[in-house]
Amino acid sequence: MKEAMQAAAGEISLEIEQTRSQFSFDELVALHQQRVLRTAYRLLGRVEDAQDAAQEVFLRLLKNLHRIEDDPQAWLYRVTVNICNDRYRRRHIVMEPALDLADPAPNPERVLELEERKRLLTQGLQTLPERERAAVVLRDIEGLSTREVATILDVEEVTVRSQISMARVKLAKYIRGRK
């Protein structure tokens, strides 16, 4: 993975920097890839965009690996949110059907209802302001604590609570309006 990312970025001299870090790049990619991809997908709403954003996140990780001293998870979430917000502002919004990632389950009706709600939530997330979207993705989808979200987004906890509450209400109303 590292070699491929280096080749993709044209970066050759990063090997030296990595050796100074306590973290292995490949291990970090393996450990956090799903979180980064999922967060990017929920923030951007498109799989290709999420892939591109995740690649950018891990390229930045590769470049900054020697500087990361604490748990890189918060750093990765922060960079993911920033990159996704930048990309979200730049791009023309085109919604795509929600990715069918669910496992088959025994109750078809409830599964259908859940899948429909997930699809609507995926769409509804794209209608939120970027700070509310980031807060609710990190808190409700990624399951981080309010404090962790506040650290990642560099805001007060009370601000995060407020953003999450407003986002939840907006999502609920969005889904009610489409039933």
Question: Cβ(90)–Cβ(139) under 8 Å?
Answer: no
Q: Which is nearer to other proteins, 57 or 153 (CB)?
A: 57
Task: Decide: is 158 part of the binding site for other proteins (CB under 8 A).
Answer: no
Q: Which is nearer to other proteins, 37 or 153 (CB)?
A: 37
Helix (H, G, I), strand (E, B) or coil at 94: coil
Q: Which is nearer to other proteins, 4 or 94 (CB)?
A: 4
The whole-angstrom separation of Cα 140 and Cα 125 is 12
Indicate which single residue of 28, 45, 46, 55 sits in contact with other proteins (rule: CB under 8 A). 55
Q: Which residue, among 132, 137, 127, has the nearest Cα to 155 in the 3D structure? A: 132
Task: Decide: is 42 part of the binding site for other proteins (CB under 8 A).
Answer: yes
Question: Cβ(84)–Cβ(39) under 8 Å?
Answer: yes
Task: Decide: is 165 part of the binding site for other proteins (CB under 8 A).
Answer: yes
Which range binds other proteins by CB under 8 A, 18-26, 60-68, 70-78, 162-170?
Answer: 162-170
Residue 134: CB minimum distance to other proteins, A: 14
Stretch 123-152 residues interacting with other proteins (CB under 8 A):
136, 140-143
Q: For the stretch 125-151, what's the b/e string if a residue is b when 16 or more beta carbons lie within 10 angstroms of its beta carbon?
A: bbebeebbbbbbbbbbebebebebbbb
Residue 68: CB minimum distance to other proteins, A: 19
